Structure 1
């Protein structure tokens, strides 16, 4: 498709002109812009341009949805017409970060740490889902699992489970790599730090409670000071804080140690100091904080299950708009580690489905051909776990589909919460999400999925017809 120069000029005019652009880059589907003043953007004019499928602001960046493949051509024309230099994603992030308040920066840091490792976690979740299907009782046979009847499949299921569990068993290693990189340290040291926290010589964190009850927790005796010799499998906070300390110590030493001695001194001293701090201070404190966070969420959903489900289910999509949803990934991982499953992630999956259903209804409601096409493609994307095109391209733009999706998601969340539906892992947050749900919870989850499919669609369709 040829890109008309006039259309690109209209985009530039709609975002406040050339003088309002600080820097620009693009991802797979969107132009990512750092603007001087986002208040100068004429969103109505922008979204009436044929090339534009939607727009939104997130993490200090103004993003214009163009579409896969097409965005490359638009960007080439954009930098030429605007007379600006090409920028990298990191340069845009650095510029945009200056516009964020401290809370937004903290959320963005979490997002930057978890997004790179998300593919590994989601892949592990899908594989664990396959294992759940093979080993779950009552799926294929009344009181037996598939592998109990067809025993030749048992070792295959066991191998799948090992492959799937690797990302969760060595989760601190993944987080250590990503976090230390984000904080400006050596990624290799981050990996070593993460793996050090789950070393086989340590008491497995999943057996800590039992060891405490039996009085069998192992200790190091450091000159009369006892330090618990425990690992932090599945834990998030210990490795996050330790990674920050490691990066800062490494930076401090790199500035002061002569180049000739850096290889001999910087990494060993950095790991030694961080290791001692991790096991003596950071680990125990953050382990307690993580358990307190878990207990807090469990208490809320135990005592006020309907209210908690209504709020989280109804407003999860709002968290996506603000970017705060990334913070709950850490909570999900903490719940999986402490409880063996999370009751929050299933709500996320239904929220994504609800946004897809609302967008799909707009295909029938709208008479605009551009909206019809975008509604269908973005609905499919949402059903497969990617909601941004549906939310920013269709639902938020017309408002009532977004609200309809929130209502459907809230109702579905209540249904699955009162039935104590949990996921064994984090998977694809859409229709394939059932694979991550414990098989014994499939019944109520499918009911919730039906609500998420039907209610937003019907509400959006009826309101759209009445409104017309």
Structure 2
């Protein structure tokens, strides 16, 4: 492949160097900040040999090139454009200027939760392994594997401790990522997050029982009674605390000499944030978080099939807009508050549906480039990354996307009506079954069959009839 020629063609298709503000790349994509995305010649871009797809998200125009090729094309690209190589942060900054307040809020949530996602997904997979060992009726009738082979019980216990750690100390993870995003010291973010789950505090999961028994511990602060409770599994309290901590830290750093900042900035910021969190921020956000959780649970308890139909069908649309990142926080809140989530299983099925539609284009197409894109993006979607399938194949032809979201809506209706739950967030595709509560494996597999067969067959037959691939 002539990388310089590919770079020239990409630069021409996006409107030339005059339309380019900044550029960087990740493992597979060119990430571009453009002045006007409306002048991009999408048809010309799709015909370029190196390009496997393109899409716009969070103010960035991203061109899928592929691992191993993208860095070579990028070097030629920035040389031709006459711009220096930019960092991801510089491109994000250039892109954010075009965002409205809602887009910036969604991007902020994404930037906070995506860095901690590997820990959460890993925990979900480990919980799946624990399910195999401890759930009855998988290998033996009415018995778990550890009941028949007790020598495995301690291994299962060790696995659950490792798996649960990410959720037990979730505020520490969120505190680190949030403070880093807001511009403060990440180590202080970890500390404030861990403060909220200190073992001397009443565990949040025991709060309801303590209230009914009238045994909630309290502090007496100069006549003011403050409940001495922790915030295990909570999202909103630590987000608000991290924001406040960062603002206080930055305020102090501007006013305290560098030579004594170590003695004053951290202690003052943590003390003020801690007091305000336990007295005001924590109780308010704890209540709001529980209202959100209780409201969602009530809606799905009452209209489970309708909720599944809507969320299962709309999730693919949410990915296009980037709003799916907001539901990551909701899933984490649900797992933290109830121990399970009913939203995430529909996410996994939606991803599988998009992959199946891409596979159908691979089978129906006679174009070698499109066939390669269909199979590679289909595999990616089945493993939880849908953007290549969405933007490179399904939205390009429209009907694969429509068939995919219709199929995932049907599957969402079914699994919601059956009450399917996940222990946690896992790999959002075929391996997602390991994060499903074992009692619902059969129902989830039926849902998987729906989103594999319907998009594959429906898209293939329609593509053959339309003859546009």
TM-score normalised according to structure 2 size? 0.98
Equivalent-residue separation in structure 1 for 2:87 and 2:426 (angstroms): 30
- For 1:346-404, what per-residue CA distance to the aligned partner results, in whole angstroms no more than 9, with x for missing partners? 00010111011000000111121101011111111111111111111111111111111
* Alignment-derived partner of residue 143 in structure 1: 142
Aligned pairs for 1:280-299 (under 5 A) are 280-299=279-298
Equivalent-residue separation in structure 1 for 2:331 and 2:47 (angstroms): 39
- For 1:207-231, what per-residue CA distance to the aligned partner results, in whole angstroms no more than 9, with x for missing partners? 1111111111100111111111000
* Alignment-derived partner of residue 345 in structure 2: 346
* Alignment-derived partner of residue 83 in structure 2: 84
* Alignment-derived partner of residue 107 in structure 1: 106
Aligned pairs for 1:118-129 (under 5 A) are 118-129=117-128
Aligned pairs for 1:271-286 (under 5 A) are 271-286=270-285
How many angstroms does 1:5 deviate by?
2.3
How many angstroms does 1:193 deviate by?
0.4
Q: Contact (CA 8 Å) 2:59, 2:96: kept in 1 or not? A: yes
* Alignment-derived partner of residue 373 in structure 1: 372
Matched residue SS, 2:33: strand
Equivalent-residue separation in structure 1 for 2:169 and 2:379 (angstroms): 33
* Alignment-derived partner of residue 448 in structure 1: 447
Matched, 1:196 2:195: yes
Equivalent-residue separation in structure 1 for 2:248 and 2:151 (angstroms): 52
How many angstroms does 1:6 deviate by?
2.4
Matched, 1:14 2:6: no
How many angstroms does 1:463 deviate by?
1.1
* Alignment-derived partner of residue 74 in structure 1: 73
Q: Contact (CA 8 Å) 2:22, 2:33: kept in 1 or not? A: yes
Aligned pairs for 1:191-340 (under 5 A) are 191-340=190-339
How many angstroms does 1:4 deviate by?
3.8
Q: Contact (CA 8 Å) 1:354, 1:452: kept in 2 or not? A: yes
- For 1:248-295, what per-residue CA distance to the aligned partner results, in whole angstroms no more than 9, with x for missing partners? 000000001122221111110000000001101111000001011111
* Alignment-derived partner of residue 462 in structure 2: 463
- For 1:148-185, what per-residue CA distance to the aligned partner results, in whole angstroms no more than 9, with x for missing partners? 11000000000011011111100000000000000010
Matched residue SS, 1:427: coil
Matched residue SS, 1:309: helix
Equivalent-residue separation in structure 2 for 1:342 and 1:71 (angstroms): 37
TM-score normalised according to structure 1 size? 0.99
Equivalent-residue separation in structure 1 for 2:361 and 2:83 (angstroms): 37
Equivalent-residue separation in structure 2 for 1:3 and 1:352 (angstroms): 34
Flag structure 2 segments of 5+ consecutive residues without an equivalent. none
Equivalent-residue separation in structure 2 for 1:11 and 1:264 (angstroms): 53
How many angstroms does 1:203 deviate by?
0.5
How many angstroms does 1:190 deviate by?
0.3
Equivalent-residue separation in structure 1 for 2:298 and 2:43 (angstroms): 45
Q: Contact (CA 8 Å) 2:6, 2:73: kept in 1 or not? A: no
Q: Contact (CA 8 Å) 2:3, 2:72: kept in 1 or not? A: no
| CA RMSD in angstroms, aligned pairs only | 0.8
- For 1:83-126, what per-residue CA distance to the aligned partner results, in whole angstroms no more than 9, with x for missing partners? 11000000000110111000000000000000111011101110
* Alignment-derived partner of residue 40 in structure 1: 39
* Alignment-derived partner of residue 157 in structure 1: 156
Equivalent-residue separation in structure 2 for 1:237 and 1:132 (angstroms): 29
Equivalent-residue separation in structure 1 for 2:438 and 2:17 (angstroms): 55
How many angstroms does 1:300 deviate by?
1.8
Matched residue SS, 2:178: helix
Equivalent-residue separation in structure 1 for 2:293 and 2:284 (angstroms): 14
How many angstroms does 1:10 deviate by?
1.2
* Alignment-derived partner of residue 23 in structure 1: 22
How many angstroms does 1:308 deviate by?
1.2
* Alignment-derived partner of residue 404 in structure 2: 405
Q: Contact (CA 8 Å) 1:3, 1:73: kept in 2 or not? A: no
Equivalent-residue separation in structure 1 for 2:36 and 2:378 (angstroms): 32
* Alignment-derived partner of residue 415 in structure 2: 416
- State the number of aligned residues: 467
Equivalent-residue separation in structure 1 for 2:285 and 2:338 (angstroms): 17
Q: Contact (CA 8 Å) 1:31, 1:75: kept in 2 or not? A: yes
Equivalent-residue separation in structure 2 for 1:128 and 1:7 (angstroms): 45
